Amino acid sequence: MHIYELDTPAVVIDVDVLEKNIEEMAAHCRDLGITLRGHTKSHKNPEIAKMQVAAGSKGIVCQKLGDAENMVRAGLDDILMTYNIVGRQKTRRLTELARQCRMTVTVDSIEVASGISEQARLDDVTIGVLIELDTGGKRTGAQSPAAAEELAMQVQELPGLELRGLMTYPSRVSSKPFIQDTVDRFTRAGFSLEIISGGGTGEEWESKELGFTEHRSGSYVYEGLTRIHGSQGNEGLSPERCPLRVVTTVVSVPTADRLIVDGGMKTFRLFPTMPFGLIIEDPEIKFSGMSVEHGHIDTSGSSRKYSVGDKLTVIPTYQEGVTNLHDEIVWSRNDQVVRVWRNDGRGKVK
């Protein structure tokens, strides 16, 4: 079946491009001499995670327990969770995962660490812990080397936890004094530095420069080696680097310079304030807006004439957001369908 024969809107992944991106990142990290740990939040698909591991990723990264549970059910067995796990419902799920695989989590406060420790003690499991540092992400993380050292001392005393090192996001060479001071404090105190984990697609070299033991990259699966930051246009989007596309159908051509496709906000998601995406068949036409179920496309820049029923394939700007909106993901090669996956990772935000 050709991808144009799919019922639309349909999310399609070009497997040739997907494989290329995975292999190129693995080779890039090998060349740098930094261990890769593939993030899975972009694709939420255990089969893609297995491809990352097969290419050289040391385990995987998840942010939500629902994703980790999905990965463990599929046989993944080395998971780092870079998100504070808070509340009895979640700590119970975490300890159940720890019975089945090697689990490491990040913490940035004694409250988070104590909650995990209490459940680990009750369930007689051991969970690895990395102290998270805030080196510029301004989300979570210890705010100073002294705070990280103090938290590590407290974690060392908690049952069911095994201190394994440090984690930060993003990797920034400018944060080297912060990192070095923290590492020096850990070394003097005899704390484990088995793992020093940096993150950010395109920042692998910075993790290497900072002396980290591993680097977390994820968006490379959909975007190639350099993360696409452009939010005001289609910069960086291309079918050679971006495997995920949405096949749509033209459902109306109301004027000579405008058409409507059957994918709107519920198909593409707005990002950040306006919908953008590259239309592969005709890069001269562009989205002018979106309503809930309608994609509005301005065709004034193109000489091509469109008819109801025509197919248009869109590379969305925010591809991982699209992944989380659809029940099925189609894999294709040379525009021919090779596999249809149920998107079991969809909605796993708990």
Residue 264: which of 243, 249, 284 has the closest Cα? 249
Domain that holds residue 191: 15-223
**Position 347 in a domain:** no
pLDDT confidence band for 78 (50 / 70 / 90)? very high
pLDDT confidence band for 273 (50 / 70 / 90)? low
Q: Are 271 and 308 in contact (CB under 8 A)?
A: no
CATH number at residue 271: 2.40.37.20
Residues 93 and 122 in one domain: yes
Q: What stretches of 191-329 show up as alpha helix (H) in DSSP?
A: 204-209, 220-223, 265-268, 319-323
Cα dihedral value 187, 189, 191, 196, nearest 10: -40
Token code pair at residue 199:
């993150």
Residues 86 and 29 in one domain: yes
Torsion sign, CA atoms 222, 67, 60, 45? negative
Token code pair at residue 111:
């409250």
Classify burial at 281, counting beta carbons within 10 Å of its beta carbon; exposed 0-12, middle 13-18, buried 19 or more: exposed
pLDDT confidence of residue 55: 98
Total domains present in the chain: 2
Residues 25 and 60 in one domain: yes
Mean pLDDT of the chain, nearest integer? 95
Token code pair at residue 40:
């899975």
Q: Within 13 A of 315's CA, how many CA atoms are on the CB side?
A: 23
Percent of the chain with pLDDT over 70: 97
**Position 229 in a domain:** no
**Position 61 in a domain:** yes
Residue 114: which of 55, 170, 167, 160 has the closest Cα? 160
> What is the pLDDT averaged over residues 65-82?
98
Question: Beta-strand (E) ranges in the chain?
Answer: 10-14, 35-39, 60-62, 78-81, 102-107, 127-133, 161-168, 195-199, 214-217, 244-255, 258-261, 277-279, 286-290, 295-298, 311-316, 328-333, 336-342
pLDDT confidence of residue 229: 56
311: amino acid identity, one letter:
K
Residues 131 and 22 in one domain: yes
Residues 64 and 77 in one domain: yes
Percent of the chain with pLDDT over 90: 91
CA 6 to chain centre: 27
Say yes or no to pLDDT of 274 above 90.
no
Give dist(CA 253, CA 223) in Å, integer: 32
pLDDT tens profile 4-58: 999 999 999 999 999 999 999 999 999 999 999 999 999 999 999 999 999 999 9
Q: Are 111 and 68 in contact (CB under 8 A)?
A: no
pLDDT confidence of residue 226: 79
Output the pTM of the full model. 0.95
pLDDT confidence of residue 231: 46
Given 164, 192, 223, which residue is the final one in a domain?
223
Those residues whose C-beta lies under 8 Å from the C-beta of residue 302, and which sit 6 or more positions away, are 282, 284, 285
CATH number at residue 87: 3.20.20.10
Give dist(CA 285, CA 58) in Å, integer: 42
Token code pair at residue 115:
């909650």
pLDDT tens profile 95-140: 999 999 999 999 999 999 999 999 999 999 999 999 999 998 899 9
Torsion sign, CA atoms 134, 139, 268, 216? positive
Given 173, 195, 223, which residue is the final one in a domain?
223
Token code pair at residue 168:
């930060």
